[in-house]
Amino acid sequence: MDYKNEKLFEEKVFKDPVHRYIHVRDKVIWDVIGTREFQRLRRIKQLGTTYLVFHGAEHTRFQHSLGVYEIVRRIIDDGFSGRAEWNDEERLLTMCAALLHDLGHGPFSHAFEKVFTLDHELFTQAILTGDTEVNAVLRRVSPDFPQKVADVIGKTYPDKLVVSLISSQIDADRMDYLQRDAYYTGVSYGHFDMERILRVMRPEEEQVVIKFSGMHAVEDYIMSRYQMYWQVYFHPVSRSAEVILMKILHRAKDLHNTGYAFRYDPVPFKPFFNRVIELEDYISLDENILMTYFQWWRKEDDAILSDLCNRFLDRQLFQYAEFEPATEYRKIGELERLFKEAGIDPEYYLVADSSSDLPYDFYRTGEENERVPIYLQMRNGELRELSRSSEIVEAISGKRRTDHKIYFPEDLLESGKDENPLYGKILELLKN
Amino acid sequence: MLQEHARIVQFVAMAQEVSGRKKLQKMIYIAKKMDFPFAEKYELHMYGPYSEELTLRVEELCEMGFLSEQCTDKGSYVQYSYNVTEEGGRFLETADTPHAKLADCIERLNDKSSRFLELVSTVLYFDHLPKDEQIEKVHIVKNKLNYTEAEMADAFDFIADLQVCSVS
């Protein structure tokens, strides 16, 4: 039997708190899971700094990736297989793309990317097509198979139905992370009837559609997403931790660039500071390494780096105040001036941050929009955009909610305000 | 702080007006590819490279009153145009000075149609690939737009000419 169709002698199962069991029969999938690059995902947390608010949120990209694979496997094997619109030749490719869609995430994902202006999607592509263990496994399927997997994840694969299973407004990625993040954070939002959604998903030429009878299950999914964003993903305390994390990395980078002699040489960071990053540098870095350096940097002579690391590790986070940029943008300038005058570097201790989410968006002919909507398959076979049938979805469609905050070290300002009247002035300005 | 917001307002101010959400998206993507410091992250979407972050920032800037958005019914489609407001002009007084080459880059981009910029930005999205693969990819992801060989050649020529504006 060729490698592409080779099955394991006995099915392997992973016990999983969200899907109960994750089933693996395909040898290729089993081999991919065993690669060094996939195992690395055990050392990248799914929710970054959220564990500092919801202490259960220590789950990893490894768990999430297996979950996305399992959902896609079930959609194909239990729902799509044998249907005229689905090409079973795409089964292994779709499952590999599901399993590997987050392969290029770095430590603390978005915070790390932002500081070093990186793109995890490009690293996913590079790991899949470069000299890596995962590439060697995929190449055994066919020489062009690693590139095909990269194309599905990069949304450039010609079969849009395959792409939509991994990336659309109702895809396996979102269905797994909403449930998994809800489970590990312990919140009661984020739950929806996935079993029902899987039963009513239908393959169409360019995307997955939902049988009309499943509309209410989809409504529940969209509302879950809305709740999770505002209750968990944009939690202001978690954002505060992320702000400090980013400032630590910024400070370390700035110190390196100005020739500071680190007590603990930041060897794994140097390629990122110098912007000459080999694939191996990227793959080698994980959250364990960052946390180890943060421990060491507590003892650095640089007061800012040391303070920020203490704050992050001991959860002495920044306080936040509401901020309305439209009317208060001059306040930022004034605060920056006062911080400097008071001897506190605003570059590291004063941060304006915005969070925003669009729970569901739709595209109608004639409008300039970029999101592919969710379609319901009506009883007569016609496809209808979800918000045209669902009053609940219509009510939140295209409605973006944005939240602006300023983060600052209230503890420092409070403790020093008696000695330095400027600290008190800053606090007054921040709280009014 | 708020410099990322200011850069977008500055961009629209320098263009005087940008007609079309899609056009603004593509202009900023192309400027970013010329190494101008725009922070918004892009992904490949329906019309080529698209930034959810930019959409959000523009909406925020409109809500803040720094940009104005006019909606025009063009018959078969609706077009949104962007201008800087008086308050936006005052906000720009707090911004850093833009790179000297940005004005030239914006002028070249604003002269082109949205369809052409969609092609140029998609070509640039695949600029890590050899030229033949780049073209093949554009045809795969833009199969409905049926770009001609002449349009494709124009896009490559335009990108080559645009390098004089590149910051790097």
pLDDT digits (tens, 9 = 90+) for A244-292: 999 999 999 999 999 999 999 999 999 999 999 999 999 999 999 999 9
Q: For residues A160 and B153, what is the distance between their CA atoms, to the nearest angstrom?
A: 27
CA neighbor of B29 nearest in space, from B141, B134, B127: B127
Residue pLDDT, tens place only, A128-165: 999 999 999 999 999 999 999 999 999 889 898 999 99
Which of B1, B47, B90, B124 to substitute to test the interface with A, most A CBs within 10 Å?
A: B1
Number of structural domains in chain B: 1
CA distance A24 to chain B (A): 31
- B46 vs A contacts (CB less than 8 Å): 363, 370-372
Q: State both tokens at A372.
A: 């592919």
A380-395 b/e (C-beta count within 10 Å ≥ 16 → b): eeeebbbbeebebbee
Residue span of the structural domain in which B96 resides: 3-165
- Look at the block and give the residue holding tokens 């693996």: A24
- The reply to whether residue B60 touches residue A354, judged by beta carbons under 8 angstroms, is yes
Q: For residues A332 and B14, what is the distance between their CA atoms, to the nearest angstrom?
A: 24
- Give me the sheet containing A201-203, strands edge to edge: A201-203, A208-211, A375-377, A383-385
Residue pLDDT, tens place only, A7-57: 999 999 999 999 999 999 999 999 999 999 999 999 999 999 999 999 999
- A358 vs B contacts (CB less than 8 Å): 52
- Strands A20-26 and A7-16 come out as antiparallel
Q: For residues A1 and A390, what is the distance between their CA atoms, to the nearest angstrom?
A: 48
- Look at the block and give the residue holding tokens 């992973």: A14
Nearest CA in chain A to B91: A329
Residue A123 buriedness (CB in 10 A; 0-12 / 13-18 / 19+): buried
Q: Show the DSSP H helices in A186-269 as ranges.
A: 194-200, 215-228, 236-257
Q: For residues A92 and A43, what is the distance between their CA atoms, to the nearest angstrom?
A: 26
Q: For residues A397 and A167, what is the distance between their CA atoms, to the nearest angstrom?
A: 19
- Is the pLDDT at B15 greater than 50? The verdict is yes
Q: What domains can be seen in chain A, in order of their start residue? A: 3-233 (1.10.3210.10), 236-355+404-431 (1.20.1250.30)
Residue pLDDT, tens place only, B133-150: 899 888 888 777 778 889
Dihedral sign for Cα A271, A274, A276, A277, please. Answer: positive
- The reply to whether residue A330 touches residue B94, judged by beta carbons under 8 angstroms, is yes
- Is the pLDDT at A365 greater than 60? The verdict is no
Q: For residues A210 and A386, what is the distance between their CA atoms, to the nearest angstrom?
A: 9
Say whether the ipTM exceeds 0.95.
no
pTM of the model: 0.90
Q: For residues A310 and A304, what is the distance between their CA atoms, to the nearest angstrom?
A: 10
Nearest CA in chain A to B64: A326
Confidence of residue B25 (pLDDT cuts 50, 70, 90): very high
CA distance A121 to chain B (A): 9
Q: Give the pLDDT of residue A332.
A: 87
Q: Is B156 on the interface with A (CB under 8 A)?
A: no
CA distance B147 to chain A (A): 17
CA distances to A52, A99, B150 from B147, rounded to whole Å, are: 51, 34, 8
Q: Show the DSSP H helices in B80-165 as ranges.
A: 86-92, 102-110, 114-125, 131-141, 149-162
